[in-house]
Amino acid sequence: MKRDILIGFAVGIFAFLLVMGYNVVPIGLLLVGAWFVWTFVIQRQVLKNGNGVAIPTTTIDFEDIGGQSVAKKELQEALDFLLYSDQMKVLGIRPLKGILLSGPTGTGKTLLAKAAAKYTNSAFLSVSGSEFVEMYAGVGAERVRGLFRRAREMVRKEKKKSAIIFIDEMDILGAKRGSNVSHHEYDQTLNQLLVEMDGLKADQGVHILVMAATNRPDALDAAILRPGRFDRQVKVDLPDKEGRVAILKIHTKNKPLAQNVNLEEIAHETFGFSGAHLESVTNEAAIFALREKASEITEHHLHEAVEKVMLGEKLDRKPTAEELRRVAIHESGHAMLAETVRPNSVSQISIRSRGNALGYVRHYPKDDLYLYTQAMLEGQIMVALAGALAEEQILGTRSTGAMADYEQALNLVEKILSAGMSSLGITDVSLLNAEQRQPVTKHILAELEERTMQIIEKNKETLLRISEILEVEESLNGETLRKHLQNAA
């Protein structure tokens, strides 16, 4: 439409100039040259960016991916439709056209797609959703057409029966139509993808399966998720403890581990870590061993690596003696309360600066927990408040070091309100205004502050002793901390 208007406008200008007696030959040659450059140079280069990256042979197998047993099983079942298409045809089963992998970043969605290509002996073509976003009209749609053409060409070239097109960042390409009101090119590109997927038929000689990955499935257009397009949705979630052990074993297979290394303990301390985080832990541990010129990776190296991945590298900045004492008291307050409300929960306490933290207490859960009672949430709030209250009890004042603790406490109070555990009962929290929420929040925090302060006052001497040891040692592991607490008692 825009192109027709521009052509009509150009013809009108030419006719006007010709009638007025101007020599239009130079202008015509200039415009023809500009059109040639756009059509055969610029546009061709722009379209080339959306062809995807072809991986002729992928060495990734499902056995190389740990911690995703449910996702792998569900995905393999879906891929069997591709492997045994003749049997499926006899039963009248329609072949799958698309599989959507959804879950947090770093959980192995791309690895699963590569393993799927090897499992089905398919040609594999990988592309990012952001590569289809273009300011030029029609370019995104043409890139989609070119992607499917290239997939068919790869199948013929590699003499295979099927191809897998993997689209990462699907939420960019497949966002709900109309969400980008200022740019209809997004909608045209998505429409073209839907057309291409509707045109995939098993009797074309080449079976193309589209796999896509996103960490925002809620942002996708409803037309993508309907049956006949992305028929299967596979959830790729964060690994549980057993899965984390499996991932650590895979990533330490090529590394010299000391005999006393307990990977189950490392997995226990890395609740909430993705596969990418765990790979980084093993890599950082190997780097620590290299720095120390050690021939093996010890448990100490792995613990250091967990801290680095979680909190960042150690910093060279040195707090003043007064600051160091305050930080030691603050972190000792956190640790003592944690051991009071949930014994054996502290993994490490340190006053060494890492990232944005002057000190930290690292906790690990007794088990991987996904549900929390009111008592558990209140205990976590008390641990968060304990640092500032320890400062106030011993030094007489609080400091800005508790700002992140207060933020954590408020988030936990929000969970209590949303779960119907407060005096408000079961209610839609989003409909409450500040006047309704603030008194309840203030009451919960005041009550928990009082309970926390009572524990700190009762164990003031123990808290001081732990902080003094921490000032000298700078770091204590959980077992050492518990021994000091027992001796003090």
Phi-psi region of 136 (alpha: psi -120 to 50; beta: other; left: phi over 0): beta
Which is nearest to 481 in space by CA: 353, 340, 335, 376?
A: 335
Catalytic residue among 134, 284, 331, 391: 331
Please give the Cα distance from 150 to 158 (Å, whole number). Answer: 12
Question: Tens digit of pLDDT per residue, the chain (489 long)?
Answer: 445 555 665 666 666 666 666 665 666 666 666 555 444 444 444 444 445 555 555 678 888 888 888 888 888 888 887 777 777 777 777 778 889 999 888 888 888 988 888 888 888 888 887 777 654 455 777 888 888 888 888 888 888 888 888 988 888 887 777 665 445 556 777 888 888 887 766 545 678 888 999 988 888 888 888 887 888 888 988 888 888 999 999 999 889 999 889 998 888 888 888 888 999 999 999 999 999 999 999 988 998 898 888 877 766 667 788 888 999 999 999 999 999 998 888 888 988 877 677 888 888 765 556 688 999 999 999 999 999 999 999 999 999 889 999 999 999 999 999 999 988 889 888 888 888 889 999 999 999 999 999 999 999 999 999 999 998 888 888 888 888 888 766
Whether 331 is catalytic = yes
According to DSSP, residue 295 is labeled S
Structure tokens at 92: 């009248």
Residue 46: C-alpha distances to residues 125, 144, 147, 184, 446 (Å): 18, 13, 13, 18, 61
Q: Which of 172, 152, 173, 176 is nearest to 162 (CA)?
A: 152
Retrieve residue 151's tokens.
């997939």
